[in-house]
Amino acid sequence: MGKVTGFLEFGRSERPYRPIGERVRHWQEFVVPLGDEATRKQAARCMDCGIPFCHNGCPVNNQIPDWNDLVYRDDWREALVNLHSTNNFPEFTGRICPAPCEEACVLNINDDPVTIKTIECAIVDKGFEEGWVLPQPAAARTAKRVAVVGSGPAGMAAAQQLARAGHDVVLMEKEDRIGGLLRYGIPDFKMEKHLIDQRMEQMAAEGVTFRTGAHVGVNVDVEELLAAHDAVVLAGGAEAPRDLAGTPGRDLDGIHFAMDFLPQQNRINAGDPAPADRIDATGRKLVVIGGGDTGSDCIGTSTRQGAERIVQLEIFDEPEENPDLSLVWPYWPRRLRISSSQKEGSEQRYEIETMAFLGDAAGRVRALAPRRG
């Protein structure tokens, strides 16, 4: 434990965001790092709990108190080694993970939790800045061939670990760029895509080969894939949308799934031409159905495109901002969370179910029929 009284001396301090009026005019990230010294103070708040609930709250079991201590002691490089021992890509999670570790933090019971996600991101960003993130090629090759199908974070991590174990790994992706939902589902303003590219450079140096446009079962024969490899890892994503099938008017023009909308903008940001069927919120009044992170991503993207008005519908009731944690801690509580995108200019409506979509004479959606409660 770095500073025994750190949690008594220092309050929680989070990374600020750039002003709304500025950030909605571009597609870059807008979270401002705290800087080394302020981050070390935040790390000093960690109590190095006998039972670190943060560790179990973290889906990859990051050894959080260990690297908090290392950051407090200014040993960032060792903190990076420790962080990488459980997490191949902390620069992704340090940006887009919802941080269940912080809800599970013991300090969260009667104080503000440690800014774990901020510290994680600072460690790995510093690692890249300092040139500490280097390829780790295997000392010996096994001559085993492994295909990893799906290049989202799970597929990338599997490919990297397998390559470091000495196997010949090909990472296969059906789209035209590696990264899965990281590449095309997460808006650039939440995670810039050069972060994927710099990891790909490391992985290529470790022996991973990348194959895009390879849709197994469509343009890649399954039997041939199995015959050519000693093992195949299936790391496909979860792209099936939740439809409102059967809702009257569902087939009207102007009703889109998030994953038809969001990738288009990321592709345009990457330099691709706008598709002929571009979904463009510029000047539109729109409704986002769904109150979760995907809905927020649609709001942030629509705001930057220049939507006139955005209303978001959530089927559940409005949760409390400060639920009784004695009933749920260390688990993920249902609480009111207003995302950065929601704050940029949108209205939220709770307990709303969509009963029907109403169209105009041209077959385009113009309204929906809601039901409260």
Alpha-carbon span 140 to 202, nearest angstrom: 18
The answer to whether the beta carbons of residues 138 and 207 sit under 8 Å apart is yes
Can you name the residues that pair with 146 across neighbouring β-strands? 169, 231
Token pair listed for 89: 């890509």
Q: Which of 114, 123, 162, 313 binds ligand SF4 (CB under 6 A)?
A: 114
Round to whole Å and give the CA distance between 21 and 239. Answer: 33
Strand partners, 169: 146
Q: Site mask, ligand SF4, residues 177-206, x = CB under 6 A? A: ------------------------------
Minimum distance of ligand SF4 from residue 65's CB (angstroms): 4
Non-local CB neighbours of 355 within 8 Å, separated by 6+ positions: 247, 248, 368, 369, 370, 371
Candidates 27, 53, 184, 329; binder of ligand SF4 (CB under 6 A) is: 53
Stretch that binds ligand SF4, among 40-48, 87-95, 304-312, 351-359 (CB under 6 A): 40-48
Q: Minimum distance between the CB of residue 14 and ligand SF4, rounded to whole angstroms? A: 15
> Which residue number, 2 or 150, has a Cβ lying nearer to ligand SF4?
2
Measured in degrees and rounded to the nearest 5, phi and psi for residue 232 equal -130, 130
Q: Which residues pair with 211 in a beta bridge?
A: 172
Over the window 126 to 165, marking each residue x when it contacts ligand SF4 by CB under 6 A and - when it does not, the resulting string is ----------------------------------------
Near ligand SF4 by CB under 6 A: residue from 34, 58, 71, 106: 106
> Phi-psi category of 16—alpha, beta or left, where left has phi over 0 and alpha has psi -120 to 50?
beta
Minimum distance from CB of 114 to ligand SF4 (Å)?
Answer: 4
- CA 86 – CA 88 distance, rounded (Å): 7
Answer yes or no whether residue 49 interacts with ligand SF4 by CB under 6 A.
Answer: yes
Contact between 209 and 171 under an 8 Å Cβ cutoff? The reply is yes
The rounded distance, in Å, linking the Cα atoms of 312 and 318 is 12
* Chain residues 232-291 in contact with ligand SF4, contact rule CB under 6 A: none
Residue among 115 and 346 whose Cβ is closer to ligand SF4: 115
107 lies in the site for ligand SF4, by CB under 6 A: yes
Phi-psi region of 56 (alpha: psi -120 to 50; beta: other; left: phi over 0): alpha
Place of tokens 């969001």: 262
Applying CB under 6 A, which of residues 40, 44, 58, 65 lies at the interface with ligand SF4? 65
Inter-axis angle of helices 64-72 and 76-84, to 10 degrees? 170
Q: Least CB distance from residue 324 to ligand SF4, whole Å?
A: 19
Cβ proximity to ligand SF4: between 109 and 355 the closer is 109
Distance from C-alpha of 49 to C-alpha of 30, rounded to nearest angstrom? 33
- How many residues line the site for ligand SF4 (CB under 6 A)? 15
Establish if 43 lies at the interface with ligand SF4 (CB under 6 A).
no
Question: Does residue 79 interact with ligand SF4 by CB under 6 A?
Answer: no
Nearer to ligand SF4, 42 or 342 (CB): 42
Question: Nearer to ligand SF4 by C-beta: 106 or 200?
Answer: 106
Least distance in angstroms from the C-beta of 7 to ligand SF4: 7
**Binding piece for ligand SF4, criterion CB under 6 A, among 27-35, 43-51, 77-85, 253-261:** 43-51
265-to-172, 261, 303 alpha-carbon distances in Å: 23, 7, 12
Stretch that binds ligand SF4, among 17-25, 35-43, 103-111, 313-321 (CB under 6 A): 103-111
> Is residue 54 a contact residue for ligand SF4 (CB under 6 A)?
yes
Cα–Cα dist 22/333, whole Å:
32
Smallest gap from Cβ 242 to ligand SF4, in A, equals 34
Work out the end-to-end distance of the chain between its first and last CA atoms, rounded to an integer number of angstroms: 49
What does residue 310 show for φ and ψ, rounded to 5 degrees? -130, 125
- Binding residues vs ligand SF4 (CB under 6 A): 46-49, 52-54, 64-65, 68, 105-107, 114, 116
